Amino acid sequence: MKKLLFIALLISLTVSVFPFFLGVSGGKELGGKNRYILGAELGSYQNLLGISVNVFYPLSGSEIDTFENVNLSEIQLVEIDPYLLLVLNLLGTKVYAGAAPILIANVQSGEIGLYSQEVFHAKVGIKSGTGIAFSLEAITTFNTQFLSTGIYTVNFGIGLSF
């Protein structure tokens, strides 16, 4: 109960300090393992510099058939990407690009670690709408020499913009 109150207080303070976006996304990996991806996002896209924290879970083959097969209690590892973004506001539509280290979190133990010091994620996208906002993003993995691995993910998202 104390955790729930702390989270509610933290969200309330965050909303009062800066506007933010809270949403969910789904996507498809193009190249690599060609997995489907489920995700959640918390971010701020109001200024020239923005931030976004994305949490992703790749679906296994049996979970792809129907989303009803996704058992949230069995999820062990998720990917967390804390992006620093450059945001352009064009007539109410936000166009953004950014990069993030790739973190892996063990949901059951609470441990978080850096996936690799040699690779990071970069994304470009658009977000449009007030109140309810829609987004379309493309994400790829780069190495430290800024060479893409050739694996891309295309995500579509929907969420609430506060």
pLDDT level of residue 100 (50, 70, 90 thresholds): very high
At residue 74's C-alpha, the angle toward residues 68 and 75, to 5°, is 95
Q: What is the pLDDT of residue 133?
A: 92
Q: What is the pLDDT of residue 146?
A: 84
The model's pLDDT over 132-142, given as tens digits with 9 standing for 90+, comes to: 999 999 999 89
**Domains of the chain, start order:** 18-161 (2.40.160.20)
Q: What is the pLDDT of residue 70?
A: 65
Give the CA distances from residue 111 to residues 30, 62, 105, in Å, rounded to whole numbers and listed in that order: 29, 27, 6
pLDDT level of residue 34 (50, 70, 90 thresholds): confident
At residue 107, what are phi and psi to the nearest 5 degrees? Answer: -65, -40
Taking the C-alpha atoms of residue 126 and residue 18, their distance in angstroms, rounded to an integer, is: 20
Give me the percent of the chain exceeding a pLDDT of 70: 80
Q: What is the pLDDT of residue 18?
A: 61
CA neighbor of 143 nearest in space, from 112, 111, 108, 116: 116
Length, in residues, of the chain: 162
pTM value is 0.79
CA neighbor of 121 nearest in space, from 97, 146, 93, 140: 140
The model's pLDDT over 35-85, given as tens digits with 9 standing for 90+, comes to: 889 899 999 887 788 889 999 988 865 445 545 566 666 778 889 999 999
Give the CA distances from residue 109 to residues 75, 81, 112, 121, 130, in Å, rounded to whole numbers and listed in that order: 12, 19, 9, 25, 37
Mean pLDDT throughout 12-41?
80
Q: What is the pLDDT of residue 108?
A: 82
